[in-house]
Amino acid sequence: MVLFRRLLGDVLRERRVGLGLTLREVSAQARVSLGYISEIERGQKEASSELLASLCGALDTPLSEVLRDVSDAVALEEAAAALATPIPVVHAQADVVASAA
C-alpha cells in the first residue's frame, strides 16, 4: 500500500504546483492542516475519502481525475517492476556420451 500512498501524494503535489498553489493556500481552502497535507504529499500518511474530497475541492480537480492519474502511475510502476524482474533462463543440457577408444 505504500506504493499507492506515495503515488497519490505525487499526483496531488503535481496538481497543486501546476496550479501555482502553496500548501498554505490548499490548507486554508481544504480546511486541513498544512503539515498533514505535506505528509500526504510525501506519502507518509493515508488520505481518507473525506480528506481526499476536500483536497480535490481545494485543487478544483475532480476526484476521478486524481484517481485516474494515480492508477496510470501505478500501472507504470508495475510495468517497470516487471521489466526489472529477471526472467529465469533454462539451459538445455545435452547428453554427453563418453567413449573409451
Mean pLDDT (10-residue bins), the chain, 101 residues? 87 97 98 97 95 97 97 91 74 58 57
DSSP annotation of 85: S
Burial of 70 (0-12, 13-18, 19+ CB in 10 A): buried
Three-class SS of residue 69? helix
Q: What is the pTM of this model?
A: 0.79
pLDDT at 54: 97
Going along the chain from its start, the domains and CATH numbers come out as 2-84 (1.10.260.40)
CA distance 94 to 101: 21
